[in-house]
Amino acid sequence: MSSSYQTPEDLLLARQLAEKVPLESQAWLAFDHAVFREGGRIGAKEREWIALGVALATQCAYCIDVHVRGARRQGSTAEELAEVAAVAAAVKGGATLAHGLMALRLHESLGAPAAGAAPQA
């Protein structure tokens, strides 16, 4: 048994999982195939870049693996994938700051601390 929670071998279990929930698996696969079809307004390489950016932001090791391979099949270079990673990092960082704005607003909505109140850890 592996000492890691995520291993490439886990992907081999996908068929077993799908067999346990066939209706849901068929629906998801149909959607996935529709999204990654050829001939849309967004090219196959760009679709892989979007998927990889999302996978990097959500930190899904399996999706990163699948979409790096897909991007490479579509001719992506290491430099292009580095740019995808930079875009994902900037967007995720921006989202963190945006949530910081919400935290500040929520803090301010609580009003001033009571006089003499000790800071709480």
Q: What digits encode the pLDDT tens for the residues 15-56?
A: 999 999 999 999 999 999 999 988 889 999 999 999 999 999
Closest by CA to 29, choosing from 39, 40, 19, is 19
Provide the token pair at 72: 């490479």
Residues 27 and 62 in one domain: no
First to last CA, the chain: 40
Mean pLDDT of the chain: 91
CA 71 – CA 108 distance, rounded (Å): 45
- Assess whether 61 and 85 both reside in one domain: yes
pLDDT value of residue 1: 53
Using pLDDT thresholds of 50, 70 and 90, give the confidence band for residue 77.
very high
Q: Within this chain, do residues 53 and 91 fall inside the same structural domain, yes or no?
A: yes
Give the chain's domain count: 2
Q: Is the pLDDT of residue 93 over 70?
A: yes
Domain that holds residue 21: 8-37
Considering the entire predicted model, what is its pTM? 0.78
Do 24 and 52 lie in one domain? The reply is no
CA 66 to chain centre: 12
